[in-house]
Chains A and B, each alone.
Chain A
Amino acid sequence: MLGQIAYALPFLAQGFAVTLWVSLLVVVLSLVAGVMMGVGLVYGPAPLRWAVRIFSDTIRGIPILVLIFFVYYGLPAVGLHLESFWAAVLALTLFKTAQVIEYLRGAVGSIPKGQSEAAMAIGLTFRQRLAYVIFPQAFRRFLPPWINGVTDAVKGSALVSLLGITDLMHAINQVIGRTYEAMPLYILGAVIYFAVNYALSLASRRLERRFSFIRE
């Protein structure tokens, strides 16, 4: 069994790198887009709020797998041809963005209105109020669900293998296709995914503790 694993490792390493790369892209892009759209949802004018609300509700109502196939197989019909890798990244990012919007809305919405007013009263502009008053307080509430979402993104990235991208999951399946030794390799795969996600939740707990001094 160890022999099988040793044989597989170089293949898996490449797949693992792709998994990490996809996850990183999705996490970063969805964070930027989600925070911006979330701010629009909380503070924006009515048309913007409606647009973000419809986007978020629609995306969250679609299974992630359907979304991936829709972007890859569906969008070419309207003239948007994406490589399988970028189609997968786009689909996962859309999905994740909708979640980040909700985390942000929840975290910012929990800050009492008086905080914004006090920040206004000393003459801070909208951006300054977000940067120095609202976000530092919202961060502690945003972090736990968001890190959960990051681990979901790492796990969810396994779906890109369905578009033929050689990520960790796909690499495992390829090795199994050659060795017919499914069990040890799936266990190995599970251990790798687990190691990444466990490290993330440890980091999250540490960060949460650092910000736990903020009491309302």
Chain B
Amino acid sequence: MPIATPANPALLDVCEVSKSFGSVAVLRSVSLQVTRGEVVTVIGPSGSGKTTLLRCVNFLESYDSGSIRIDGREVGYRETGTRQRRSERDLAKMRAETGMVFQSFNLFPHLTAAGNIMLGLLKVRGKSSTEARAIAEHWLGRVGLAHKADSLPAELSGGQQQRVGIARAVAMEPKILLLDEITSALDPELVGEVLEVVRSLAEDGMTMVMVTHEMAFARDASSRIVFMADGGVSAAGPPAEILGAEIDNERLRSFLARFRASHF
């Protein structure tokens, strides 16, 4: 398992991050390091803080304490003086460095598949419309939807929409890609086509943090699995270790046992 070293520093460095919604602590001093090219899967029961952690990484959620750094830069807060939220402009810049794919796709319904991908390229990356269109077509090709460039989201199946969602995120050339239960809203027969895209991105060396309930996929595609429970990291390690039979972690064992019982 790749460990961050001076020669290979962590691309994503989550350090003792805590967050509460009112009196409910959703993240308790979570630390996690991800190096370039790693695919880290976060599993755990619902309410364990997986999705919140992911949303803190691109600052869709603020966090109360600790720090999250991408490529050495603090994500949501200014690095000088007192802890102060970054300006709207700075936050937007930081967010453009991370890609995110959502459970409910969240494609822009008024734009075509290509238009969805082009928006960020035009307005954030400052590409010309010819360039943006070419990039959009390239990525639509990569996710197998070259022929759907001019279709509106409402004309696409769930699996196709999610593949556009992935293309929209990676076209921005993010340093890290966050995948938030991206197959949970899909009909079972459409899950495969989406995971196939993720697998090919992983093979290309895209750094990813993925929250998922697809254990088989997590086992095959991840370099590391992190098990979260009650807002904290309860276990972390290579898939064979975490999903193996000898794991010495009662909560993980009961999670996996319940999971297997409900999925097979």
Residues of A within 8 A of B (CB): 112, 114-115, 117-126, 128, 132-133, 136-137, 213-216
Contact = CB atoms under 8 A, between A and B. Distances in A.
Secondary structure type dominating chain A contacts: helix
Interface stretch (B104-112, B225-233, B253-261): B104-112
Given A120-B95, A121-B58, A128 B123 contact: yes
Given A117-B102, A132-B123, A213-B152, A123 B95 contact: yes
Nearest to B154: A215
Contact of B124 (A118, A122, A137, A216): A122
Nearest to A126: B88
B120 interface: yes
Closest 8 CB pairs of A and B: A123-B96, A122-B120, A118-B106, A114-B106, A121-B100, A123-B124, A215-B154, A125-B92
24 contacts: A114-B102, A114-B104, A114-B106, A115-B108, A117-B60, A117-B100, A117-B106, A118-B102, A120-B58, A120-B60, A120-B95, A121-B95, A121-B102, A123-B93, A123-B96, A123-B97, A128-B123, A137-B108, A137-B109, A137-B110, A213-B110, A214-B109, A215-B152, A215-B154
Given A117-B102, A133-B108, A124 B88 contact: no
Contact of A125 (B89, B110, B172): B89
A183 B60 CA distance: 64
Interface string B116-133: 000110011000000000
Nearest to A133: B108
Given A114-B104, A137-B110, A121 B88 contact: no
Contacts of A112: 104, 106
Contacts of B182: none
B124 A124 contact: yes
Nearest to A123: B96
B172 A136 contact: no
Nearest to B59: A120
Given A126-B88, A213-B152, A121 B60 contact: yes
Contacts of B158: none
**Residue from A115, A120, A122, A216 with most neighbouring chain B CB atoms (10 Å):** A122
Contact of A115 (B92, B106, B124, B169): B106
A214 B60 contact: no
Contacts of A128: 92, 123-124
Given A128-B123, A137-B109, A215-B154, A122 B169 contact: yes
A122 B92 CA distance: 8
Contacts of B119: 122, 124, 132-133
Given A112-B106, A117-B60, A133-B108, 6 more contacts: A117-B102, A118-B102, A121-B58, A121-B102, A213-B110, A214-B110
A136 B110 CA distance: 7
B172 A123 contact: yes
A215 B154 CA distance: 7
A122 B119 CA distance: 9
B123 A118 contact: no
A27 to B, nearest CB: 25
A39 B154 CA distance: 28
Nearest to A127: B88
Given A114-B102, A114-B104, A126-B88, A121 B169 contact: yes
A117 B103 CA distance: 12
B152 A122 contact: no
Nearest to A113: B106
